[in-house]
Structure 1
Amino acid sequence: MSYLEKLRKSREKSQVAYAEFALHTKKGKDGLFCFFEGNDNAYYVPRIKRFTDNYYPINCGGRDKVLEVYRLITIHAEYDKYKKAFFIDRDFNEPLPPHNPPIFETPCYSIENFYASVDVFKEILKNELHLSEVSDEAFQVCISLFTQRQQEFHQATILINAWYACLIDIRNKTGNQTGVNLVDKLPKDFIHFTLDSVVQKYDCETIKHKFPQALEVPEDILNIKLDEFTSCEQYKTFRGKYEMEFLVTIIEQILQDSSNAQKYIKHKIKFTFGDKLSNEQAISLFSVYAETPETLNDYLILLHSKDS
């Protein structure tokens, strides 16, 4: 599928989401209508259900599609009476200005970043891999591996993150499309990831070869972004799907080591779901352990207060 065809398909998603909402209202449904990017409802729904069980999840596609559905709904005054919640990732964009009705925007890159901290990893070790923080040596070994490899992972991915962030900046300033449609995982062979180390295997020329249709990023602009990304909270700032890829990969490699080489983990760790996970599976499976920002709690409390 060409880049233009993908754009056309994404536009269709917003129309379908809007039509689904309109159909709900025609059938007299009354509850909280929740508009999500992709499959983000796996993260949001357990948090929404703390406040209400009367909700309707609607998948819009990407960030721009949620905003397009928001526009389609808010231009019709007859929809003002319905309770609505809109959830988007910030990505590499500037924060949205205040909207009425309000929109929730992640304070980090995306929901996947809520899974990427060492504290979340500790919860996964304790509750999914069943390692004791006080009696299992493997627990501390895993924490050490996570912190060391994550630091190396960030060093190895800072270039592609900075480059893509520059593309978003250029797009937002000029209106030109980036020419890039990133998938969930890093391009094959961009890094070499083992429990021993994470090594960068690409450079600017590799990126240009991989994404020949991408906008040109001036070297001075890229260097400014690299400086900015060197001193930020990287697990929150970098592209969330890559952060989730790190989490999934290190869990897989820990499980494989415990089953085979036992170089780091000296006994087999049992994991109900085997030793292979997709990003989407991880979002659902580990949702209960993921961070919940105060801004999200505030947003849901505000919606609940209007419902009372």
Structure 2
Amino acid sequence: MSRVDQLKDAKSSDSVKFKEFMRIVANNKRPVFFEGEDEKYYTIRVNNYYRGIDWVGVNAKGKTNVLALREKIKKHPRYKDINSMFFVDADFDDNSKLAAYEDVYVTPCYSVENFYFSEKVFISILSAEFGVSEFNEDSECYRTVLDLYRETVSQYIEAIKPFNCLVYNLKNKKKEGAFSGGLNLSDIKFESLVDVNVGSVTKVYDEFNPQSIFNKLNGYEIDPADHNADFLQQDSNGMKLRGKQNLEFFRRFIEKLKNDRNSREPARVFFSRRSTVRITLTKDNILSDISQYADTPQCLQDFLAKFSSYKLAA
């Protein structure tokens, strides 16, 4: 698709979503804008603060569209005072200008998927779904599995960092016009990047051969600078790394533990006794599957608390 066609599609989408916004307002409901499937994460959190407030989510199909719609609304003489909320991911973008917008929430990490990628979330799932906690009869297994999780996460972060640095720098190179091809990040299979097992992670990609990862770079020659991104190299907990890969790592790790917990001896390795774990983590719907366990940062709580008392129109 040409750049002209992309702009036409964006304009068409913008028009469709603005009409959706007008219908919501006409029915005295509060519009809340999301850039994709992120509503699956935000819904229960918005509901916690918006008790008694009838709100409707609008999937704007991308961060750029969310911000374009906000600009269109704020410039509209009739709708500029409508109190809407806009949720976007930080990504690898410079979001400094967005800090001035009180109605825009930007994740403090790369994306909402990172809210699922923490030790706290893992411990909650281990207790609620696996029946294993620090203080019950499976406390020894708890310590063993938690140590394995920490070790596996550490190995995963180190294995996936070069990929993230490459993506960050290639995006900047593309903006500069260094190559014409697309990165097609949605086409990259997780298993082509890393192999995840309980206790170990193996890097299977070659960051010095970007064409093996991104097959549409049209002969772009790798530059050693493409592996440098200090803010990523210093990231020890993975919160600045791409959320989709982080969440898929988490899903696969949980699934492997689930299989072990459900197994009979001698196949069972990590748990001393068998127990049925019923949690199902689907790749396409994991944002909903375990939304109740995901982190809710203080900045999000503050943002929602501020808007919960606002009327539909100022």
TMscore range, shorter length = 0.7 to 0.9
Q: Which residue of 1 aligns with 2:70?
A: 70
Shift of 1:89: 0.2
1:50 aligned residue: 48
Partner of 1:112: 113
Following TM superposition, by how much is the alpha carbon of 1:167 offset from its aligned partner in structure 2, in angstroms?
Answer: 2.5
Please identify, of 14-23 and 122-131, the stretch whose mean Cα deviation from structure 2 is larger: 14-23
The answer (yes or no) to whether the contact 1:163–1:217 under 8 Å persists in 2 is: no
- Aligned partner letter, 1:114: F
Q: Quick one: distance in 2 between partners of 1:90 and 1:247?
A: 20
The 1:270/1:206 distance shift into structure 2, 3 A limit, reads: farther
Give the C-alpha shift of residue 132 in structure 1. Answer: 2.6
Deviation, 1:96, is: 3.6
How far off its partner does 1:76 sit? 0.9
Give the aligned residue type for 1:219: D
SS of match in other structure, 1:183: helix
Q: Would the alpha carbon gap of residues 189 and 280 (structure 1) be closer, same or farther in structure 2, given more than 3 Å must change?
A: closer
Of stretches 196-205 and 149-158 in structure 1, the one that deviates more from structure 2 is: 196-205
Shift of 1:48: 1.1
1:271 to 2:272 alignment:
no
How far, CA to CA, are the matches of 1:11 and 1:263 in structure 2? 55
Q: What's the % identity of the aligned pairs?
A: 25
Whole-angstrom distance in 2 between the partners of 1:67 and 1:242: 25
Q: Deviations over 1:125-151 (max 9, x none)?
A: 111222232121322222112111111
State the alpha-carbon separation in 1 of the partners of residues 198 and 105 from structure 2.
37
Deviation at 1:186, TM superposition (A): 4.1
- Check if 1:257 corresponds to 2:260: yes
Q: C-alpha displacement at 1:271, in angstroms? A: 2.5
Contact (CA 8 Å) 2:188, 2:213: kept in 1 or not? no
Q: Aligned pairs, how many?
A: 302
How far is the alpha carbon of 1:171 from its aligned partner? 4.6
Identify if the C-alpha distance between structure 1 residues 292 and 171 changes in structure 2 by more than 3 Å, giving closer, same or farther.
farther
What does the per-residue CA deviation read over 1:259-292, in whole Å, with 9 as the maximum and x for residues that have no partner? 3421222333423234xx2244321122222222
Change over 3 Å in CA distance of 1:87–1:258 after alignment to 2: same
Cα distance in 1 for partners of 2:43, 2:170 equals: 32
Query: Structure 2: any 5+ residue segments left out of the alignment?
Result: none
Distance in structure 1 (CA, Å) of the matches to 2:71 and 2:248: 33
Determine whether 1:148 maps to 2:151: yes
Q: TM-score, normalised by structure 1?
A: 0.87
Give ranges in structure 1 of 5+ residues lacking alignment: none
Question: CA shift at 1:86, angstroms?
Answer: 0.2
Segment drifting more, 187-196 vs 53-62: 187-196
Q: How does 1:88-237 map to 2 (within 5 A)?
A: 88-97=88-97, 98-100=99-101, 102-135=103-136, 136=138, 137-171=140-174, 179-183=182-186, 186-214=189-217, 216=220, 219-225=223-229, 227-237=230-240
Q: Would the alpha carbon gap of residues 101 and 77 (structure 1) be closer, same or farther in structure 2, given more than 3 Å must change? A: farther
Offset at 1:178? 6.8
The 1-side partners of 2:180 and 2:146 are apart by 40
Bigger drift between 191-200 and 151-160 goes to: 191-200
The answer for the alignment partner of 1:32 in structure 2 is 30
- Farther-moved stretch of structure 1 (296-305 vs 164-173): 164-173
Distance 1:96 1:44 in 2: 23
In structure 2, what is the equivalent of residue 283 of structure 1? 287
User: Displacement of 1:176 after TM fit?
Assistant: 8.1
2:298 partner amino acid? E
Query: SS at the partner of 1:212?
Result: coil
Distance across 2 between alignment mates of 1:177 and 1:107: 31
Task: Look up the match of 2:85.
Answer: 85
SS in structure 2 at match of 1:90: coil
User: What amino acid is the match of 1:44?
Assistant: Y
SS of the aligned residue for 1:193 comes to strand
> How far apart are 1:113 and its partner, in Å?
0.6
Q: What CA distance in whole angstroms lies between the structure 2 residues aligned with 1:293 and 1:178? A: 37
1:285–1:217 distance in 2 versus 1, CA, 3 Å = farther
C-alpha root-mean-square deviation of aligned residues, in Å?
Answer: 2.8
**Residue 213 of structure 1: how far off its partner (Å):** 2.3
State the AA in 2 paired with 1:199.
T
Using the TM superposition, give the Cα deviation of residue 115 of structure 1 relative to its aligned residue in structure 2, in angstroms: 0.9
